[in-house]
Structure 1
Amino acid sequence: MNWDGDKGKLATVIDLVARERECRVHGDPTQVDERTHTLRKEDIGLQHLCKLTKDARTDLKNTLQDRTLPNPR
């Protein structure tokens, strides 16, 4: 997996969401529309990141289960 590239995409999406929220709080609808449009273009990347996150969690869970020692009782 290319974690550096995915972290960069995730940072971009987080930045866009934060800016959109900020624009909504300050009541600037033109900025919201522009950010939402940009966010939609990032949507495919976000779906990919969600899958990577799920895969990473599964890998971690499996690794931890493999390392867990049986209960001696």
Structure 2
Amino acid sequence: MAYSNTDFRGDGSGCTMWFGDLIDIKQIPGGGQDVYMRMPASELIIIAQQKNNPSELIRNRNEWRWRSYSSQN
């Protein structure tokens, strides 16, 4: 599951939720909107072990998730 506080009208009053695979995600330079992903703890442990640096876990989890998805397609 993923969710985002969308800003369609300029006041940040919207909410978008995804259930299932996230596809066609792109990083927009110059400040876009955040997407928050809910992941099982078991995946976070795997990420921490692969990174060998648990302090970077939260900062890099979405990037890892995107790279993992991209490499499958």
Which structure is higher in RCO with an 8 Å CA cutoff and minimum separation 6? 1
Structure showing greater Rg: 1
**TM-score, normalization by structure 2:** 0.26
**TM-score, normalization by structure 1:** 0.26
